[in-house]
Amino acid sequence: MTMNIRPQNSAGLQGYSPYRDIAYLFPALVAEVFSKLDECNWGDATKQACHTHQISEQEIAEACGKLGAALAMYIREPTISSPFDALQRSGFLESRLVVQDLVFARFGESIAAGWFVAVRDVTLQGEASDAAPDMARMLAAARSLADRRSPRGGDGDQTPVDAIALLRVEVSETRRALEQARRLRQELVDSVAEQVTKNRGLQEQLQELQIANERLQGAAKIANLKIDAVREVLKNSRVLRLFRKLVSATR
């Protein structure tokens, strides 16, 4: 599912998609992983894993080539239905599981290294991060797994630290929800006030139109009375002229 984040009151702006960042960073991540899998850059962990499981550089190189082919297929081939389909068609899944694990372990190592560098670069010291609830969940999940696998926490019960972390998450999310509700309420109040103002303006315009209509009707009545008076005058004038003609004729 694609996620687009758009700030409030910015309907005309392009939405921001966090997935886009992953897509942009992934090529550099892959290049770093393949570089680490080159024999000249093997660390102690990689050397030990290759020694223990008899993994050769050639086997790793072939697996990396197939993984690269899977990435290309997923981008270019419309018939590829899923990442699994791409990995299967490229032959990467035919590699031994220990080789697949070794490759993906380097991915995890690079992602973790990137996080350690990035998190301090984007977070002001002493400031609360917007990602604090997610960070709390991450730490709580790590503690929960550690406690379930350790002698003191074998029963899988939630530890006080986990409970506090999750409680902080709930409090933070509740505060965020309340703040969002306040913003929505204020937007609704502003919208209603604006509508009321518009309605008042329309009512005032309607009253002005009614007054103007009444004035027009009054002026029309006056004009009709004047027209009737003029007609009467003209009528009387014709009668007077006829009377004078009659008088003149009798003389």
pLDDT in tens, 65-92: 999 999 999 999 989 999 999 999 999 9
Q: Could you list the residue range(s) of the whole structural domain that residue 191 is in?
A: 127-218
Domain count, the chain: 2
Task: Clarify whether residues 76 and 163 are in a common domain.
Answer: no
pLDDT of residue 155: 46
Identify whether 9 is part of a domain.
no
- Judge whether 45 lies within some domain: yes
- Judge if 28 and 109 occupy the same domain: yes
Cβ(67)–Cβ(103) under 8 Å? yes
Residue 157: is its pLDDT beyond 80?
Answer: no
Shared domain for 170 and 108, answered yes or no, is no
Q: 29-62: per-residue pLDDT in tens?
A: 899 999 989 989 988 988 999 999 999 999 999 9
Residue 244 falls inside a structural domain: no
Kindly state whether residues 105 and 58 are assigned to the same domain.
yes
Q: How far is CA 23 from CA 6, 88, 240, in A?
A: 19, 22, 104
| 48 within a domain of the structure (yes/no) | yes
In a domain, 179, yes or no: yes
pTM of the model: 0.53
**Which residue type, as a one-letter code, is found at position 81?**
S
Rounded CA separation 67/152 (Å): 41
In a domain? residue 247 = no
User: Is residue 43 situated within a structural domain?
Assistant: yes
Q: Comparing C-alpha atoms, which of 38, 37, 57, 18 is closest to residue 107?
A: 37
Residue 4 lies in a domain: no
Pair (118, 135) in one structural domain: no
Q: What is the widest separation between alpha-carbon atoms in the chain?
A: 154
Nearest CA to 130 out of 179, 185, 203 is that of 179
Which residue did the predictor score with more confidence, 118 or 155? 118
**In this predicted model, which residue has the larger pLDDT, 167 or 50?**
50
